[in-house]
Amino acid sequence: MPENLDPSIWAERVAAADAEAVRLAEVLERVRGGESRRAALAALVPERPHRTMLTRLRRFEEGGRDALIDRRAPKARPTKVTPEVKAAIRALAHTRPELCAEALADELDAALDVRLSATTMRASLASLGLARERGRPRGSKNAVETPVVTPLALAGAELLKATEEELGAVRTLTKAMGKHLESLPAPTGEVLDDRDNRDEYGHFLPSDNEAKSRTEPDLGGRFDSVERRRGEKDLRAMRVANSSFSARYRKNLAPALSGLTFPRSSARSS
């Protein structure tokens, strides 16, 4: 472990390398079985950029799991809020409880020649347990409380994506779907050619709207059951059966996140 890394950070990086090594080992197993690197990476690591994963795969081949561990030292971020500044903020907040964050920032600047933004001052007060209420002071004329709004990035979708990356439920579903599609049987009867009644551009002609011959006493051919129509279809020619794993994975992942995409519309329709 590098000397300039915190043990907890190092443990997180080792755990991440362990998880990545398992997936890359599966990729190499597929490659040894005759699959291309691009196809194996697209199937097992569809959410990561291909170029990046090719580099990571070569690194794994040369040095194993240890080569995947991030050993870079964290960048030191200069901060104005030193322990001395925090002590001054605490003292000012206790001696001048009537001042808002902006006014406390002015007092700190006058005392220590350290200029903090109002946002940084509010964050410092909150970390000290001395957060000020926002809005006009209580008791002032026409006082209006300003609600504190906490933005939720991407409406929580990142949490669902992280859950999927950890559990892999959608990935497992997509793999099972692929195995089922590979085992689709050949059609047992004559396959219906749906290219009839189209022009040279593939557009339907008016003749396509003509009523089909009746197969039931009360229903026309357009209303035949799905079970009957399925016998005239070659299910192996469906687009989903010929899509890549990554394409099916993205389409399966979309419904898992769709509830966060249009929450207002869903609430209005219900």
DSSP 17-71: HHHHHHHHHHHHHHHHTT--HHHHHHHH-TTS-HHHHHHHHHHHHHHGGGGGS--
User: What integer is the mean pLDDT of 124-132?
Assistant: 81
pLDDT > 90: percent of the chain: 6
Nearest to 75 by CA among 11, 7, 5: 5
Residues 200-230 pLDDT 10s: 787 878 877 776 666 666 666 556 677 777 7
The CA radius of gyration of the chain, in Å to the nearest whole number, is: 31
| Residue pair 214/167 in contact by the 8 Å Cβ criterion | no
pLDDT, the chain, mean: 78
Which residues on adjacent β-strands are paired with residue 204?
Answer: 198
Q: End-to-end CA distance of the chain: give it in Å, rounded.
A: 55
pLDDT beyond 70 at 133: no
- The Cα–Cα gap between 265 and 259 comes to 10
And the tokens for 169?
Answer: 């439920």
Q: What is the pLDDT of residue 25?
A: 92
- The Cα–Cα gap between 172 and 249 comes to 9
Q: What is the pLDDT of residue 270?
A: 41
Out of 31-35, 214-218, 253-257, pick the least confident.
Answer: 214-218
Residues 73-120 pLDDT 10s: 766 666 778 888 888 888 888 888 888 888 888 888 888 888 888 888
Q: Where are the domains of the chain?
A: 7-68, 83-127, 156-194+225-261
User: What integer is the mean pLDDT of 137-146?
Assistant: 52
DSSP code at position 213: P
Most confident segment among 21-30, 161-170, 256-265: 21-30
- The Cα–Cα gap between 51 and 56 comes to 9
Residue 99 burial (CB < 10 Å; 0-12/13-18/19+)?
A: middle
Tokens 């329709």, residue located: 269
| Residue pair 240/248 in contact by the 8 Å Cβ criterion | yes
Q: What is the pLDDT of residue 1?
A: 63
